[in-house]
Structure 1
Amino acid sequence: MPSRPDSGRVVPLPLLSNHSARRASATCKYRCGNACAHEAPNTSDNGYFGDIVESVLDRRGALKAGGVLALAVGGAAALSGTAAAAAPPAAAGGPVVPGTDFAPVAPNKEDRVTIPEGYEQGIVIRWGDPLVEGAPEFDFHGQTAEAQEKQFGYNNDFAGLVPLDGEGRRGLLVVNHEYTTESHMFSNYDEDNPTEQQVRISWAAHGLSVVYVEKDRAKGLVPKPSEYNRRITLNTEFEVRGPAAGSDHLKTSADPTGTKVFGTQNNCAGGVTPWGTILSGEENFHQYFGHSELITDPVAAKRYERYAVGTGETDRKWERFDKRWDVSQEPNEAHRFGWIVEIDPNDPESTPIKHTALGRFKHEGATIKIADDGRVVAYSGDDERFDYIYKYVSNGRFKPGKSAHARRHNSALLDDGTLYVAKFSGNSPPEEIDGTGKLPADGHFDGTGEWLKLASGTESFVPGFTADEVYVFTRLAADELGATKMDRPEDIEPNPVNGRIYCALTNNSNRGSEGNAAPDEANPRVGNKHGHILEFDDDTTGTEFRWNLLLVCGDPNDPGTYFGGFDKSQVSPISCPDNVTFDRFGNLWITTDGNELGSNDGLFAVPVDGPERGKVKQFLTVPVGAETCGPVVLDDLITVNVQHPGEDAEDAQHPTSHWPDGGDSQPRPSVAVVWRQDGGEIGRR
C-alpha cells in the first residue's frame, strides 16, 4: 500500500531529529573502504575564493557583453533563460508545476518503499534473479560463481533505459552493480578468511546488467527473456581506447599491450548517450587494491596515495586469489580502473570500452550534451571530499541516429577531444561567507568559473606532466592547475529543457576543519553534512561559465538552508543529494544517499524555473538501510534502484530489513517501479 499523507496540500513535513542517520558501518567499509574515516587524499594547496574574489569583482565590468561572459550582478536571475527564477515565490495552494502535482511523502523509517496516494509500485528485478539463458533461480544459501555470472548482480546504482521502439513500450534497462557487501551476501562469511568461491561470486556480482523490459499496465515494467539480456562482470574483456591506450602506465603481465582490461567495478552513476549507449563511471576502485606501502619509488607512491590505494591487505582479501589486486606484484593494475566505460546494449556481442580521454579519477558518472556546433560535451564529477568537476569536449561532430554506424562514429568522439577541470570564483566578499550557510548580501551563492585545460590528444597543458600522465593521474594534474576543491561532486546532468547543468554535491563533513579547505561561495558551510545542488550555465565548448546554488540542503527550519528562494515552510526536508535526472517538463529529480536528518533516503522533485523554483517535494522513500539510486523518470512510470537494503545490520544472520520479499527473507538490492493507479502521467492530476 502507498503511504498516505495527511492531505494533498503541501505542508511542512516533520523531521526525525532524534535519530542519527550516519551511514551503516558495512556500507562505509564495503562501498568506499571507509573513505570518510581517513584524511581526504587531496592535500594540494589550491587557491580559494578568498585569494581571487577581489580580482573577480574587479573583472566584472570588463567581461564581454553577450553570451556566457555577460554576467549580471543578480546571480541566479542572470542565468540565461531564468528570468522567471527571480520571480517572487508562489503562495501556498497556488498552481502546481506539471510533473510535481502529487502529495509529498513524509519522512519515515519504514521497511518498505512508500509512495504518494494514487500510485502503485512493483519490483522489476532483484539481486540473483535469472537474467540470461541457463541461469538458475536464486538460492541465497547455495550461491555459485557460475550462477551469478547469469543472474542479476548485486548492489544496483545507476539505471538507464534505452528504448527499442518509438512508443517506448519496449526497452533495454541497463543497471550498474556498484559493489558487493560480502558480510550480507553470505550467511557463513569470515572476513578474515573468505573462500575462493565467495570471492569469485563477488567478481561475478560486480559490473552491469542489460535487461530487456516491456511496459505493463498492471505491473509497471516487466523483464522478459531476450537475446539482449547480458551480464558484464569483473571477468568481461574491455577495450582500452583513446590517447592513453597502450600507455606504459597501463601495461601488466596479463596485458603487456595496455589495451585490454578484464572487468569493471564500483560502477556508480552514468548516463544514456544520444546515440543509444550507456556511459558508466568507475568510482571507489581504490579499496580493492592493497600493499601500496611496498612501493618504494616516491613518484609511484605519491600516485597511489592521491588515489587512496590501500596499504596492507584489503578488506575483501581478493589479492589472495589473484595477484592483480596486489599493487606490489602488479603495479599498474589499479591504473586500469577509474575510467568512464561505454556499453552498447543494442549489440550483445560488442566489447565494452574504457575511454581514457575523459581522464581517470573516482568518476561518479558521465553525461552528454550536444553543443550547438555538434560537438559532444561530457560532464563528470570526482566523488571524493575536496575533489573536482570535469568536462570533456570532442573535436569531431555528432552524427544523428542510433544505427550501428552512428553508434560507432559517436563513440569514437569520446577518444579525441580536450579534457578540462573547473575553477570557481564567487561574487561576494569573503567575509560574507561565514560557514553557516547564511546567504551573502546579494541574496545568492553565485559567481563565475573557468574551465582549465588539462590535455588534448597527445598534448599536455600541465607543466611537468606528459599527456599520458594527465589522463592516467588526472587528479594530480588538476591539483597542479589549482582546480577548486568541491564537497563530493557526484552526478552531473544537463537539463534538456533549459540547457543548464546541475550537479549534486553530496556532503563534506571535513569542510572548514583544521588543515582542510575553508568554506567558499560554492561550498559555503563548515562541516557540510547535508550537501547542496549546483546549477551552472556553461558556454558548452568554451572555457567560462556562470553558476549558482539552487539548493543548500538540510532541515528547512535551519537558517543555513536555501531552497531556490522558495518559502521553506512549504518544502520537504532533503539531505545528501546523490543522483539527478529530469522529467519532460525540465523539473529536477534528486535521489539521496545517507540522509542525515534521520529518515530513510528518498526521491524528490523540484522545479528549477518559475515561481515554484526550489519547491522540493518528496516522491518516495526506500526501505531501512537502503540508498535511492539511478532514477528513471518517464511520463507514465518511475524506476529507482534500491541499493543495499538492510545494510545497517551486523551481518546476514541478523537482518534489519526483509525487503522486497517480506517475511523472514534476506534483503535483496532491487529495481522498484512506480506508476499511477489510473494509468495517467506522473505528477499530473
Structure 2
Amino acid sequence: MTSHPGGRSAVTCEYRCGNACAHPAPNTSDNEYFGDVAKDVLSRRGALKAGAVMAAAAGGFAALSGTAAAAEPAGVEAAGRGRPARKVPGTDFDKVPPNTNDAVTIPPGYDQRIVIRWGDPVVPGAPKFDFAKQTAAAQEKQFGYNNDFVGLIPQDPLGLRSLLVANHEYTTETHMFPADQYDKNNPTEEQVRIAWAAHGLSVVQVTRDLLRGGLHVVPSRYNRRITLNTPFEVRGPAAGSQYLKTSADPTGRRILGTQNNCAGSVTPWGTVLSGEENVNQYFGHAGEVTDPVVAARLKRYGFSGAESTRKWERFDKRWDVRAEPNETNRFGWVVEIDPNDPNSTPIKHTHLGRFKHEAAAVKIARDGRVVAYSGDDERFEYIYKYVSNGKYKPGKSAHARRHNSALLDDGTLYVGRFTGDSPAGEIDGSGRLPSDGEFDGVGEWIPLAAGNKSFVDGFTAEEVYVFTRLAADKVMPTKMDRPEDIEPNPVNGRVYVALTNNSDRGKAGKAGVDEANPRNINRNGHVLEFEEIGDATSTKFAWRLLLVCGDPKEADTYFGGFDKNLVSPISCPDNVAFDPHGNLWISTDGNALGSHDGLFSVPVTGPERGYVKQFLSVPVGAETCGPVVTDNVVLVAVQHPGENADSSANPTSHWPDGGNSQPRPSIVSVWRKGAWGLPGRIGIR
C-alpha cells in the first residue's frame, strides 16, 4: 500500500483528513512576519539587549531549564553506553526498540490488557458486536470507531473507580464493513447511519482489577454515547450568529452532533474538552458554491470538490454545501461534555474560535482566570490562546462545573507570534543549531476578539469567531508546522506543543523556515516549549524547541542537549501528556523512520532533560493516541490498526483479538507487574 508523507497509508489520509496532504495548504496568506523580523536580528546577544522583557524572559527560562551539557550529560555513565546513573522517577524502564510487530510491544516487567474495543457494549441493551451484521441502532449503544483522546476522571481518592472518556475521530468505511458488503461509490443509508453513530465520544465507568491488573469496564448510569445525532448547545458570543443558522436550526443555537474529534483534555473542574478537527472532508459539493465570499471562506477551511468520500450528502442535505452552506460553520469548535452528569447537554464553545482544533487544554492562572491553549492542526496554521474574564471556582460539584464551564464563554481570544533570537543566516533550513546552541526566542499573543469587540480590522467579533483563520491571517501570526496537541505541565508550569511535521516548508511558493520551524521539508516534526512571562494571562512569552525529532544519527535532530547516542528515535509527535513527576510523554502519528508509532517518555528538567525513551509501540498500520499516565496505569488508544490495507478483505493486522480476526481500534492499559494493587506505587516507576 502506498504511504503518504510521513508513515501514513493512503487509506488513512483519505478517511482521516480528506487527503489534506495531497491538496494545497489552505493558508495562502502573505504572512511572513518572522522572516522580516529575523533580518534585523544580528545576534542572540543583540536580541536580548533589545528590550528588558526579552532579557527577563530569556534569563528566567535559562534558570529554570536544567538543560544538560551537550557533550556528556551529568548523571549518565561516562562510557556513554549504560543506563543513567540516576534514575528519573517515572522513566525507569527498559527502552522498547523500534519494531514492526503486529502487537502492542511493552518493556520487560510490564503487563497489558484491552480495556474496550470498537463495538463493545457501552450502554444497556447493547448487543454483542458482529462485524458482518452491524446496525445503526447497535452502534448507537456500542463503543465507537477510531478512538483518539482518552481521559480518565477518578471517582474516588485511590482511583479504584474512574470515568473513562474517549473520542471517536473518524470512520474508515472500507475497513468497518466486509468488503463484499460495502461499495464506496454506493454506500447504503444504513451504513451511513452506522458511521454517524460511530463518531463522537464514549463515556464508560472503569474499575481497577486488583487481581488481574488493568482496567475493567462496568455497567453504570454514567455510561453514555455521544454521536452525530446528539444535540449540542451553542454557547459564547457567536451563539445565534447568522452564520450558524440553518433550515433545521433557524436559531443558530442547537447543533446535532460532533465529528472528527481528535485530541482533548480533562479540565480542572472535571469535564472534558474535545477538538473538532478535519470536518471539511464530510461535506459534498463545496466546489460548486458560486458566491465569491462564501467560496473564499470555504476554501480557507479546506472545503472543496464535488461528492464527498463517504457520500453522506445523498442521505441528509445538511452535508450538501449547496443546500446548507452554513452547516459547515457548525463544526470546527471546541466541545465540552460533563461525564459526571449523563443527562447534561454537550456544549460547543464559540469564544475559543473555529478552526481545525487538535484539542484545547486549560491552565488556571495565579489570579484565578482560566487560560485555554489550542493548535490548528494543518500545515502553516497557528497557535491560539484564550483568557477568561471570570475566575475559577475550585471544586467539582455540579455548581462549580457549571460556573467554570461558563468561563469559556467570556474572555479574550489571542493568536501567537514567535520571534527567534538568532541571525537570519543561521536559520538556513538544514536544522543545524544556531551559534547559541538552541532554537529559541520570545513571542507575543495578539488579541483577536473579546466578547462582542473585534480587534481585527474589517472583521466583526462574530466573524472573528466563525472565520478565525481568516481573521488571524490579518494580524501576521507565525505559520507553524502542524500544531497539534498543546498541554501545560502541572509540575513546572510551562506549556508544550507537538508540531507533527510539514513536508511543504520551504518549497517554492510556500513559507520558508523560521527559528520556531527551522527545517525545510520537515518530515519528522518537533516539540516546542514555552513559558509565559509573569503569568499565564500575559501577552508575552519565552520559547525554545525541546526536541527536533528524527533519527538521532542525523545532524538535523536535537534532544534538549542530551547525548543523541542514548535516545530512542522519534518521529511525528502528535499527542502529549504528563506523568505525576512532570515528565513529558509523547505519542506519535505517521512515523517517517520505518518503524511503528509509539509512546515515549522525556524528562524536561534536570540532567536527563531530552532523554527520549520509547515505552511501547503499536501494531501494524496503527497510530498511538490519547496517552494517560498515572501512578498505577498507562493508557493508550490504538487507532486504525491494519489501515495500511486497501480494505477489510485482506487485513494486514489481526490486533487485538488475533487469529484471523478483523483489526479493531481499542484502548489498552499497561502496568508494572507486582505494583498494581499498591496505592501510590508508580505504574511506570
Does TM, scored on the shorter chain, surpass 0.5?
A: yes
* Pair 202,251 (structure 1): closer, same or farther in 2 beyond 3 Å: same
Using the size of structure 1 for normalisation, the TM-score is: 0.95
Residue 26 of structure 1 corresponds to which residue in structure 2? Answer: 11
Offset of residue 83 of structure 1: 4.1
Residue 612 of structure 1 corresponds to which residue in structure 2? Answer: 608
Contact 2:200 2:225 in 1 (8 A): yes
Residue 197 of structure 2 corresponds to which residue in structure 1? Answer: 204
Residue 263 of structure 1 corresponds to which residue in structure 2? Answer: 257
**Match runs of 1:498-537 below 5 Å:** 498-537=492-531
Offset of residue 409 of structure 1: 0.2
Q: For 2:67 and 2:297, locate their aligned partners in 1 and report how far apart those are by CA, in whole Å.
A: 47
Match of 1:51 among 17, 20, 36: 36
Tell me if 1:357 matches 2:351. Answer: yes
Aligned amino acid, residue 437 of structure 1: G
* Pair 69,362 (structure 1): closer, same or farther in 2 beyond 3 Å: farther
Tell me if 1:660 matches 2:656. Answer: yes
Residue 48 of structure 2 corresponds to which residue in structure 1? Answer: 60
State the secondary structure of the residue aligned to 1:481.
coil
The Cα offsets for residues 618-646 of structure 1, whole Å up to 9 and x where unpaired, read as: 00000000000000100111000000000
Tell me if 1:625 matches 2:621. Answer: yes
* Pair 683,434 (structure 1): closer, same or farther in 2 beyond 3 Å: farther
Q: For 1:626 and 1:210, locate their aligned partners in 2 and report how far apart those are by CA, in whole Å.
A: 23
Contact 2:382 2:477 in 1 (8 A): yes
More divergent stretch after superposition (408-417 vs 160-169) = 160-169
What 5-or-longer segments of structure 2 have no aligned partner?
Answer: 78-82
Residue 80 of structure 2 corresponds to which residue in structure 1? Answer: none
**Match runs of 1:286-325 below 5 Å:** 286-325=280-319
**Match runs of 1:175-324 below 5 Å:** 175-187=166-178, 188-217=181-210, 218-324=212-318
Q: For 1:250 and 1:21, locate their aligned partners in 2 and report how far apart those are by CA, in whole Å.
A: 36
Q: For 2:405 and 2:299, locate their aligned partners in 1 and report how far apart those are by CA, in whole Å.
A: 32
Offset of residue 399 of structure 1: 0.1
State the secondary structure of the residue aligned to 2:64.
coil
More divergent stretch after superposition (92-101 vs 232-241) = 92-101
Aligned amino acid, residue 189 of structure 1: Y
**Match runs of 1:384-399 below 5 Å:** 384-399=378-393
Q: For 2:382 and 2:603, locate their aligned partners in 1 and report how far apart those are by CA, in whole Å.
A: 26
Contact 2:6 2:523 in 1 (8 A): no
Aligned amino acid, residue 82 of structure 1: S
Identity, % of aligned positions:
70
Match of 2:339 among 339, 345, 358: 345
Offset of residue 48 of structure 1: 3.6
State the secondary structure of the residue aligned to 2:436.
coil
Contact 1:283 1:361 in 2 (8 A): yes
Residue 89 of structure 2 corresponds to which residue in structure 1? Answer: 98
Q: For 1:131 and 1:232, locate their aligned partners in 2 and report how far apart those are by CA, in whole Å.
A: 11
State the secondary structure of the residue aligned to 2:332.
coil
Tell me if 1:127 matches 2:118. Answer: yes
Q: For 1:341 and 1:565, locate their aligned partners in 2 and report how far apart those are by CA, in whole Å.
A: 38
Aligned amino acid, residue 652 of structure 2: T
* Pair 484,61 (structure 1): closer, same or farther in 2 beyond 3 Å: same
Offset of residue 60 of structure 1: 3.3
The Cα offsets for residues 599-632 of structure 1, whole Å up to 9 and x where unpaired, read as: 1100000000000000000000000000000001
Match of 1:72 among 58, 77, 99: 58
Contact 1:19 1:597 in 2 (8 A): no
Please give the root-mean-square deviation of Cα atoms over the aligned residues, in Å.
1.6
Tell me if 1:597 matches 2:593. Answer: yes
Contact 1:244 1:356 in 2 (8 A): yes
Residue 10 of structure 1 corresponds to which residue in structure 2? Answer: none
Contact 1:563 1:616 in 2 (8 A): yes
Match of 1:82 among 60, 65, 87: 65
Tell me if 1:550 matches 2:554. Answer: no
Aligned amino acid, residue 200 of structure 1: R
Aligned amino acid, residue 628 of structure 2: V
Q: For 1:369 and 1:72, locate their aligned partners in 2 and report how far apart those are by CA, in whole Å.
A: 22
Q: For 2:406 and 2:126, locate their aligned partners in 1 and report how far apart those are by CA, in whole Å.
A: 34
Contact 1:85 1:608 in 2 (8 A): no
Offset of residue 353 of structure 1: 0.1
The Cα offsets for residues 472-497 of structure 1, whole Å up to 9 and x where unpaired, read as: 00000010111110000000000000
Offset of residue 49 of structure 1: 2.4
More divergent stretch after superposition (52-61 vs 242-251) = 52-61
Using the size of structure 2 for normalisation, the TM-score is: 0.95
Q: For 2:449 and 2:6, locate their aligned partners in 1 and report how far apart those are by CA, in whole Å.
A: 41
Residue 151 of structure 1 corresponds to which residue in structure 2? Answer: 142
Aligned amino acid, residue 274 of structure 1: P
State the secondary structure of the residue aligned to 2:565.
helix
State the secondary structure of the residue aligned to 1:160.
strand
The Cα offsets for residues 166-217 of structure 1, whole Å up to 9 and x where unpaired, read as: 1111110000000000000011211100000100000000000001000113
The Cα offsets for residues 113-143 of structure 1, whole Å up to 9 and x where unpaired, read as: 0000000000000000011001000000000
Q: For 2:69 and 2:450, locate their aligned partners in 1 and report how far apart those are by CA, in whole Å.
A: 39
Aligned amino acid, residue 39 of structure 1: P
Q: For 1:457 and 1:507, locate their aligned partners in 2 and report how far apart those are by CA, in whole Å.
A: 34
Aligned amino acid, residue 472 of structure 1: V
Contact 1:69 1:544 in 2 (8 A): no
Aligned amino acid, residue 663 of structure 1: G
The Cα offsets for residues 245-303 of structure 1, whole Å up to 9 and x where unpaired, read as: 00000000000000000000000000000000000000000000121222222111110
State the secondary structure of the residue aligned to 2:422.
coil
Contact 2:358 2:377 in 1 (8 A): yes
Q: For 2:264 and 2:270, locate their aligned partners in 1 and report how far apart those are by CA, in whole Å.
A: 13
Offset of residue 20 of structure 1: 9.3
Tell me if 1:36 matches 2:21. Answer: yes
Q: For 1:391 and 1:404, locate their aligned partners in 2 and report how far apart those are by CA, in whole Å.
A: 26
Contact 2:498 2:528 in 1 (8 A): yes
Contact 1:20 1:597 in 2 (8 A): no
More divergent stretch after superposition (84-93 vs 207-216) = 84-93
Aligned amino acid, residue 493 of structure 1: E
Tell me if 1:369 matches 2:360. Answer: no
* Pair 390,21 (structure 1): closer, same or farther in 2 beyond 3 Å: closer
Q: For 2:214 and 2:683, locate their aligned partners in 1 and report how far apart those are by CA, in whole Å.
A: 16
The Cα offsets for residues 415-473 of structure 1, whole Å up to 9 and x where unpaired, read as: 00000000110010111011111000000000000101000000000000000000000
Contact 1:592 1:601 in 2 (8 A): yes
